[in-house]
Amino acid sequence: MNASCLNFDLSDDEQGGWKIAIGRGLAFVLADTCCLYMKTHGFHWNVCGEQFFGLHRLFKEQYEDMWTGMDALAIRIRELGLFVPGSLTEMRTLSTLSEQRGVPTWGDMLRELISDHSIQVDRICALRPALVEAGDTTSVKLVDERRMAHERMKWMLESSCSVRSSHVVLSVLETYA
């Protein structure tokens, strides 16, 4: 993880230094979201195999959610008075996620996306305490929504690649016994 996104100077309240620090943190989250969006969209275009139809639809649902999330993050960065990274080069520079080259198998696509969503959740969780400390409830709400969205996407991907157990579950209550 790019540690510079975790170095916040919230002490300069009068000069709006906290806004710059928070805007920078949100820009890192935006960059990771952008790279994850591109990867997911590429997988949507290129998925093959017996899982094609379901994954093609799942990837579309996820990249559409990320598109909406990127816009919300960009708007918040602008509300804080900063400009938003607007080029792929800027996004790649700020992102901690790796690019995907070539076309992996559908199983490898799932594993890579699961890993990337985990990284994104960790990055959001690392940013949240600074938002709370600054009293920026708007940004806290936004990153909480994005964290929950990435956790949900990760869960859906994990559920899509799980191998069915030969054990038949007769009741959900078995889980709690």
SS (H, E, C) 71-116: HHHHHHHHHCCCCCCCCHHHHHHHCCCCCCCCCCCHHHHHHHHHHH
Task: Find the mean pLDDT for residues 136-151.
Answer: 97
d(CA 16, CA 177): 54
Residue 4 falls inside a structural domain: no
Task: Find the mean pLDDT for residues 156-174.
Answer: 68
Give the domain CATH number at 162: 1.20.1260.10
Residue 7 falls inside a structural domain: no
Task: Find the mean pLDDT for residues 18-47.
Answer: 95
Residue environment code for 41-60, b if the CB has 16+ CB neighbours within 10 A, otherwise e: bbbbeebeeebeeebbebbe
Residue 5 falls inside a structural domain: no
Q: Is residue 78's pLDDT more than 50?
A: yes
Residue 87 falls inside a structural domain: yes
Q: Is residue 6's pLDDT more than 50?
A: no
Q: What is the pLDDT of residue 17?
A: 78
Range of the domain at 37: 12-176
Q: Is residue 149's pLDDT more than 80?
A: yes
Residue 117 falls inside a structural domain: yes
Q: Is residue 71's pLDDT more than 80?
A: yes
Residue 37 falls inside a structural domain: yes
Q: What is the pLDDT of residue 101?
A: 86
- Helix/strand/coil for 163: coil
Residue 81 falls inside a structural domain: yes
Residue 6 falls inside a structural domain: no
The count of structural domains within the chain is 1
Q: Is residue 63's pLDDT more than 70?
A: yes
Q: What is the pTM of this model?
A: 0.84
**Residue predicted with more confidence, 143 or 159:** 143
